[in-house]
Amino acid sequence: MRQAILVVVGVALLVTVAHTQTRIGTVPVKASTLRTPTGDPDLQGVWNFSAGTPLERPPALAGKEFLTDDELAQAEKQIHERNSADRRDGAGTDDVRREANEFWFEKRPTILTRRTSLIIDPPDGKLPPLTPTAAQKPVAKGNEFRSADGPEDRGLGERCIARESNGPPIVELPSINEHLIGFAFHFQIFQSANYVAILSETVQQVRIIPLDGRPHLPQSVRQWLGDSRGHWEGTTLVVETTNFHDKRLFLGLTVENMRVVERFTRGSADTLDYQFTIDDPTRWTKPWTAAVPIGKTDGPIYEFACQEGNYSMRNILSGARAQEKVAAQAEKTGSR
């Protein structure tokens, strides 16, 4: 419900925003026309990365890199039908996730790219195989299946610490929030001569990226968002991030050995070309790359007030205690 309330507060967010160059006739601007006062390529603005495209290519589209016009229209129809908050079918838990109906949500009507997957390498649009060791590791449970002995048992997002999709890497991942196309995926880029900062609206994460050539922190220093270092390659900002906290998760597994290289390029006045490559030899048998279409949107970024409005944590923990009380009473009654 916290998310639904925030959508009402932020209803001015126009998530039916400009689409990426794959969907509109935007003429790419020359790099020299969008510059900061210090002369660097200008990446600043409020952006939205809710592409509506799956990370991996669905089996039904195997061997097909791009959708046709008809397939794209059908995919857009299906994603909105599938994620309509007015649906009342399915199990009771599905209905709980739709506690706020469609009226309260502003949604982008279109998918941002014709690609059938965000992954562009390997060419089949699939994640590389896991290493034998990683394949034996248990995948982290979803929030609804986690224990609730204390707040530490819950996910980082529920605890208002970090949100996986905010990055790095910045990518819309499979989750129960797929229907919130637009709202949950805003971020803002700020630039100075020596730093770039990325502020995510949801959970209000801030990543500060030095551009002065300093080395990474020692391997013993671990951070939730990792340790990012950036530099310019022509008009592209290249950011390398390492030193992730060993309790940070990505796609269900820990990321302490993950290295992420992101590439930000201003494609036009209203698009960012964003790609990231992940290399973790302890998890995947080879590196992989994804391209995430990012469209500009009208700001501002709204205060998320995650801790102040986090009634869900109290409710989760108190609900768990109530369940324990009921179970204990049932066991006591049954033992008589």
How does pLDDT run across 112-131, given as a tens digit for each residue?
788 999 999 999 999 999 99
Task: For residue 7, name the pLDDT band (cuts at 50, 70, 90).
Answer: very low
- Beta-bridge mates of residue 94: none
Residue 111 has pLDDT above 70, yes or no: yes
Residue 63 has pLDDT above 90, yes or no: yes
Q: For 262-268, what is the mean pLDDT?
A: 95
- Is residue 110 within 8 Å of 126, Cβ to Cβ? no
Mean pLDDT of the chain: 82
Task: For residue 18, name the pLDDT band (cuts at 50, 70, 90).
Answer: very low
Residue 38 has pLDDT above 50, yes or no: yes
Residue type, 186: H
Tens digits of residue pLDDT in 299-316? 788 888 888 878 888 888
Q: For 225-250, what is the mean pLDDT?
A: 95
Residue 1 has pLDDT above 80, yes or no: no
pTM of the model: 0.81
User: What pLDDT is attached to residue 336?
Assistant: 55
Three-state SS letters, the chain: CHHHHHHHHCCCCCCCCCCCCCCCCCCCCCHHHCECCCCCECCCEEEECCCCCCCCCCHHHCCCCECCHHHHHHHHHHHHHHCCCCCCCCCHHHHHCCCCCHHHCCCCCCCCCCECCCEEECCCCCCCCECHHHHCCCCCCCHHHCCCCCHHHCCCCCCCCCCHHHCCCCCCCCCCCCCCCCHHHEEEEEECCCEEEEEECHHHCEEEEECCCCCCCCCCCCECCCEEEEEEECCEEEEEEECECCCCEECCEECCCCEEEEEEEEEECCEEEEEEEEECCCCECCCEEEEEEEEECCCCCCCCCCCCCCHHHHHHHHHHHHHHHHHHHHHHHHCC
Residue 34 has pLDDT above 50, yes or no: yes
Can you tell me the distance from the alpha carbon of 33 to that of 89, in angstroms, rounded to the nearest whole number? 51
Tens digits of residue pLDDT in 194-237? 999 999 988 888 999 999 999 999 999 999 999 999 999 999 99
User: What pLDDT is attached to residue 300?
Assistant: 85
